[in-house]
Amino acid sequence: MGAGPGGIAAGVKLKRAGVTDFVLLERADEVGGSWQENHYPGLEVDIPSLAYQYSFARNPNWSRLFAAGAEVRRYHVAVARRFGLYPHIRFGTEVLGEEWDEDRHCWRLRLADGTVTTARFVISAVGAFISPKQDPGIPGLTEYRGKIQRPSDWDDTYDLTGKRVAIIGTGASSVQITPSIAEKVGSLAVFQRTPVWCLPKPNPRIPRAVRLALHVPGVTATVHGAALVAVDAVLRTMSTAPMPVVRPTLRAMDAAAIRGYRTLLRLMVQDPRIREGLTPDYGPIAKRPTLNTGYLLAFNRENVDLVTTPIERFTATGIRTTDGVERDFDMIVLATGYHVFSDPETYTPGMVVGRDGMDLGKYFAEQGLQAYESVALPGLPNRWTLVGPYSWTGSGWHAFVEMMADHAVRAISEARRRGATFVAVRQDVHDAYHRRIYRSGAAMRYYLSELNAHVPTYYRNSQGDSTYIRPTGFFSARRAHHRFPFSDYEFDRLTA
């Protein structure tokens, strides 16, 4: 399910394993996931392009250090074509529900067009950001008569020239949109609930000589691997260091980082009032940090303002804040986030129902988010999730969905070898794994749920857990996905 980065990885891995009887169900009309949906002004990757690619499809020809969205979109299309995935894809197909059929050892997938399709095995590759939040939680949205824009559904035909524009939110998309439209619009007001950490991001073109060097076999992989080593070291240190050391160290690191950021703001932002409003009172990794040189500089423009007073409601012509001030806008950008895989509320009861009536939505709400190696649950046989609880390893997106696809395909291949029609992780193995991963996340929970408990972040879910991040690091995760014992699963077959 899904033909974004995870679905493409799964399709390629299946073909390489000799499995050709599969279909990719994609609700959009092209591959790429978020990179197909999003095409708002200023869209770029926020990690170096060399780290944003598959190991089986290295691209030495990125034009810039941080590739633009259109270039990333073309990359996914090229990979899908190169590996012959298009004949396997059913576009315009949205899965509304999944139900396990115990008698037939298969999944019944209920589609938006009213039909039902069945599959022996299911890989959920719907991604981390499941769907954009349509309702920002502010009264009066339907009363507003101007133009509404969302990063995930940007109307490129709308002429921004001279318009009065508001952006609600200061996350990754807002940080990219703000400087991209500031020069063109008449006025721009950025409505901020929480200041964002935003560091400068030089984005030079990659010289031809460097691109030629990257064509040499092994060079791109080596550069990418060096970055993974650095990230892995941080996560492994946090997961193994004793808490009496972790607590004061993290407090000191946050305090030093905030002091350093204040210095950066003094250098980049002229207005003292705006500087103060842009200053975070939380640590740099408590929310998703951003990179964009133009974001902070945009607030030096006379036509750009920062509004930190909370919004009371939308009006017919704009926005009213809690201090009674009403501002009129021709266009409002709702950069208010997504429903994320790490939130229990994302999983609607009745959407995924497994063995013995196990309801994924109810299970996560009552038991907390958990899954063996982030991908499998005992009550959901023959099903793997590529972005599940405790999954993100701090690496580029492709690296970690690729290794989770390896896990699913390895289990499916072993089932085929045995002639099994049923594959499920053992309950005792799952429970032991969850205890280990939960213990390893103690430092991350302290950082997000105690030291920085005052800041809203999707790194901490409504249950106070940090299920977004896998605390054990990239390389241990990759080893586990590639080498898990088959004895961790039970295999069975239908009997006549």
Q: What is the pLDDT of residues 385-427, one digit of tens each?
A: 999 999 988 778 899 899 999 999 999 999 999 999 999 999 9
User: For all residues of the chain together, what is the average pLDDT?
Assistant: 94
Whether residue 132 has pLDDT greater than 90: no
CA atoms within 13 A on the CB side of 446: 19
The answer to whether the beta carbons of residues 453 and 217 sit under 8 Å apart is: no
Nearest residue to 7 via CA among 62, 76, 59, 68: 76
Whether residue 226 has pLDDT greater than 80: no
Task: Work out whether the CA dihedral 442, 444, 445, 449 comes out positive or negative.
Answer: positive
Whether residue 472 has pLDDT greater than 90: no
The answer to whether the beta carbons of residues 214 and 220 sit under 8 Å apart is: yes
- The answer for residues whose C-beta is within 8 angstroms of residue 359's C-beta and 6 or more apart is 349, 350, 352, 353
Nearest residue to 391 via CA among 35, 125, 211: 125
| pLDDT given for residue 218 in this prediction | 85
The answer to whether the beta carbons of residues 401 and 52 sit under 8 Å apart is: no
Residues 429-444 have pLDDT tens digits of 999 999 999 999 999 9
Neighbours of 43 (CB within 10 A): 22
Residue 74's φ and ψ, nearest 5 degrees, are -65, -35
Spatial separation of the C-alpha atoms in residues 447 and 251, rounded to whole Å? 9
What separation, in Å, do the N-terminal and C-terminal C-alpha atoms of the chain show?
A: 30
Q: pLDDT confidence of 496, banded at 50, 70, 90?
A: low
Highest mean pLDDT among 7-11, 336-340, 461-465: 7-11
To the nearest 10°, the Cα dihedral for 440, 445, 447, 452? 170
Spatial separation of the C-alpha atoms in residues 168 and 192, rounded to whole Å? 7
**Between residues 306 and 475, which one has the greater pLDDT?**
306
**Between residues 211 and 77, which one has the greater pLDDT?**
77
In this prediction the pTM is 0.94
Spatial separation of the C-alpha atoms in residues 226 and 57, rounded to whole Å? 18
Spatial separation of the C-alpha atoms in residues 416 and 19, rounded to whole Å? 9
| pLDDT given for residue 66 in this prediction | 93
Provide, rounded to the nearest whole percent, the portion of the chain with pLDDT above 70.
Answer: 100
Spatial separation of the C-alpha atoms in residues 393 and 29, rounded to whole Å? 30
Q: pLDDT confidence of 135, banded at 50, 70, 90?
A: confident
Residue 489's φ and ψ, nearest 5 degrees, are -110, 155
Whether residue 383 has pLDDT greater than 70: yes
356-379 average pLDDT score: 97
Angle between helices 69-82 and 5-16 (to 10 degrees): 20
Nearest residue to 55 via CA among 386, 395, 391: 395
Strand-strand pairing, 129-132 and 95-101:
unpaired
Residues 375-392, buried b or exposed e (16+ Cβ, 10 A)?
bbbbbbbbbbbbbbbbbb
Both tokens of residue 11? Answer: 């399709």
Both tokens of residue 312? Answer: 């009371």
34-54 average pLDDT score: 92
Both tokens of residue 197? Answer: 């950490």
- Conformation bin of residue 31: beta by default, left when phi > 0, alpha when psi is -120 to 50: beta
Q: In the sheet that 326-328 helps form, which strands lie side by side, from edge to edge?
A: 311-314, 318-321, 326-328
| Three-state secondary structure string covering the chain | CCCCHHHHHHHHHHHHCCCCCCCEECCCCCCCCHHHHCCCCCCECCCCHHHCCCCCCCCCCCCECCCEHHHHHHHHHHHHHHCCCHHHEECCCCEEEEEEECCCCEEEEEECCCCEEEECCEEECCCCEEEECCCCCCCCHHHCCCEEECHHHCCCCCCCCCCEEEEECCCHHHHHHHHHHCCCCCEEEEECCCCCCEECCCCCECCHHHHHHHCCCCHHHHHHHHHHHHHHHHHHHHHHCCHHHHHHHHHHHHHHHHHHHHHHHHHHCCCHHHHHHCCCCCCCCCCCCEECHHHHHHCCCCCEEEECCCEEEECCCEEEECCCCEEECCEEEECCCEEECCCHHHCCCCCEECHHHCEHHHHHHHHCCCCECCCECCCCCCEEECCCCCCECCCCHHHHHHHHHHHHHHHHHHHHHHCCCEEEECHHHHHHHHHHHHHHCHHHHHHHHHHCCCCCCCCCCCCCCCCCECCCCHHHHHHHHHHCCHHHEEEECCCC
| pLDDT given for residue 217 in this prediction | 87
179-206 average pLDDT score: 96
Number of residues that make up the chain: 496
The answer to whether the beta carbons of residues 381 and 422 sit under 8 Å apart is: yes
Whether residue 352 has pLDDT greater than 80: yes
Least confident of 93-107, 112-126, 198-212: 198-212
The answer to whether the beta carbons of residues 179 and 295 sit under 8 Å apart is: yes
Whether residue 475 has pLDDT greater than 70: yes
Provide, rounded to the nearest whole percent, the portion of the chain with pLDDT above 90.
Answer: 85
Both tokens of residue 323? Answer: 């201090």
